[in-house]
Amino acid sequence: MGDLLREIEAQIAGAKTAAAKQNVGIIRELGDGVARIEGLTDAMLNEMIDLGNGVTGLVLNLEETEVGVVILGDYTKLKEGGEARTTGKLLQVPVGKGLLGRVVNVLGEPVDGKGPIKSDKTYPVEKTAPGIIRRRSVGQPVQTGIMPIDAMIPIGRGQRELIIGDRATGKTTICIDTMISQARLNKAAEAGGEKDFRPLYCIYVAIGQKQSTIARVISILEEAGAMPYTIVVASSASDSAANQYLAPFAGAAMGEWFMDNGMDALIVYDDLTKQAVAYRQVSLLLKRPSGREAFPGDVFYLHSRLLERAARVGEKYGNGSLTAMPIIETQAGDVSAYIPTNVISITDGQIFLETDLFYQGVRPAINVGISVSRVGSAAQVKAMKQVAGKLKGELAQFRELAAFAQFGSDLDAKTQAQIDRGKRIVEIFKQPQYNPIPVEIQVVVIWAVQNGYLDQVPVARVKEFQNKLTEYFTTRQVELLAKIRKEKAISDALKAELKTAVDAFKQTWTDEKATPEKAEAAKAQK
């Protein structure tokens, strides 16, 4: 009881007795999540406004006699003529490791029913991106675990790689795979006690998606054990346009905390098309002038200021990084629309996903020809560079020759060989979802293809060969895999070991094929 009294006395003593100056205004117009407030002469841009009844607003328009405010809570609790007051605070969200494993809304409030978030730090939602002096070039890879990406479109820590494609082409899956891959690597490094390993934490920002879709993503991450390294910022389709527009910025603030504290983070914006649409809605309600496709004039700045916050900072500034993977949904493959072209020009590369490839069974449906990574190759593991250096060119040649070969049957041996190799490369790049492949396995498989070990394998059985090879290496060549992982390059000695191991596997594969019973059994299994 004594403690309680002391606490009450302390609270009373803490309460300000002097009349502090407040800046107030009157709500003049209200509706559709937007309010116009007369007065508030001291209001700042992006300042939080207390609208009463526990509802908060964010100042977006400063006009001569009034301010335009987007309402972040339930606007049905407010009335025209009500009083609003400035708070002197910019919109902030909690940050820190306490958010890992949690699902939060745009204000950083938990929505997963797991209790309050343990965080004593906050970051402003809108923050200036790191300047030129603080930055350094990208030099460390993000292992996505997706073979075509790691081999041909490598992503580096601090890069901004756009994932673009039509609906239902596997854009989100690529990002989830990447997050699962990071969780596996983080766990393995923790278990192995690797001191030099830099864990990569993930932030998934769901913008304007169905609640069921968000729930599905969370359950996939939970099943894969990736949630302890992931923060989910959820702003579903039922949230207000203001929340949807602010969600990526809130996620970026959470990611920046990791970067500022010398850690690495990856942020997925799923997707920025919906954010642009939400921003258009807010802008039109605030009566801002509209431009192309009715988007406001600053829609480019909306995305550029968001994506510029992804960076790799120098050692002097903590050596942290924030990698961004924005997603853009196109309509009927039209990448020349307004928002896609904007985001393509801002990012450091893009991964194009195609509906045709998806339905042909090429999954992930990446169009390697027009997908690029502008800075990631500097961060690629040397071993991967050694084995996959020529892959992109070979695939491009294959596509050209395959198109040409459709019109004639007489092909010279060299052309036929190129086509055959190309078909096998396409096959090995097919990968089931939520099953990222470790980089050392990728190196072994690609090395085997490049050295002609799959040339005699029928195209229909390439995947079987790959699976068996993977199984063989993970069970019987663990040390060799560890060597590749550790050395990160294929030396002559390693090459010889690799050759011996793959030769041994090829022998068993041939023997198995030669035994009729086994072949029969394999066929039945297939």
Among positions 2, 11, 316, 523, the unique one binding another protein when judged by CB under 8 A: 11
CB of 68 to another protein, least distance (A): 15
CB of 123 to another protein, least distance (A): 24
Q: Which residue has the tokens 């036929």?
A: 416
> Which residues are CB-neighbours of 517 under 8 A, at least 6 positions away?
none
| Cβ count near 109 (within 10 Å) | 11
Positive or negative, the CA dihedral 431, 180, 129, 139 is negative
- Alpha-carbon gap, residue 25 to 382, rounded angstroms: 62
| Cβ count near 395 (within 10 Å) | 20
The size of the interface with another protein (CB under 8 A), counted in residues, is 21
Among positions 1, 15, 191, 524, the unique one binding another protein when judged by CB under 8 A: 15
Positive or negative, the CA dihedral 103, 109, 113, 118 is positive
Of residues 411, 526, 412, the one with CA closest to residue 458: 526
CB of 105 to another protein, least distance (A): 23
- Alpha-carbon gap, residue 134 to 311, rounded angstroms: 9
3-state secondary structure of 209: strand
Token code pair at residue 49:
């406004």
Segment contacting another protein (CB under 8 A): 14-22, 129-137, 384-392, 471-479? 14-22
Interacting positions 62-81 with another protein (CB under 8 A): 65
Burial class (CB in 10 A: 0-12, 13-18, 19+), 181: buried
Q: Is 1 in the site for another protein (CB under 8 A)?
A: no
Positive or negative, the CA dihedral 115, 119, 120, 126 is negative
Interacting positions 161-220 with another protein (CB under 8 A): none
Among positions 20, 191, 403, 460, the unique one binding another protein when judged by CB under 8 A: 20
The nearer residue to another protein, 37 or 104, going by C-beta atoms, is 37
Interacting positions 42-61 with another protein (CB under 8 A): 42
The nearer residue to another protein, 21 or 526, going by C-beta atoms, is 21
Q: Is 284 in the site for another protein (CB under 8 A)?
A: no
Q: Is 18 in the site for another protein (CB under 8 A)?
A: yes
The secondary structure of residue 54, as a DSSP letter, is T
- Alpha-carbon gap, residue 430 to 261, rounded angstroms: 38
CB of 37 to another protein, least distance (A): 9
CB of 52 to another protein, least distance (A): 12
- Alpha-carbon gap, residue 323 to 320, rounded angstroms: 10
The nearer residue to another protein, 25 or 158, going by C-beta atoms, is 25
Among positions 12, 191, 413, 514, the unique one binding another protein when judged by CB under 8 A: 12
Strand pairing report for 121-124 and 92-95: antiparallel
Q: Is 16 in the site for another protein (CB under 8 A)?
A: yes
CB of 63 to another protein, least distance (A): 11
Q: Is 17 in the site for another protein (CB under 8 A)?
A: yes
Mark whether 136 is an active-site residue: no
For residue 416, how many C-alpha atoms fall within 13 Å in the half-sphere facing its CB?
6
CB of 440 to another protein, least distance (A): 58
3-state secondary structure of 408: coil
The nearer residue to another protein, 11 or 525, going by C-beta atoms, is 11
Q: Which of 135, 136, 216, 374 is catalytic?
A: 374
Q: Is 24 in the site for another protein (CB under 8 A)?
A: yes
Q: Is 39 in the site for another protein (CB under 8 A)?
A: yes
Q: Is 25 in the site for another protein (CB under 8 A)?
A: yes
Instruction: Report, as residue numbers or ranges, the catalytic residues.
Output: 374
Interface residue list for another protein (CB under 8 A):
11-12, 14-25, 38-42, 65, 85
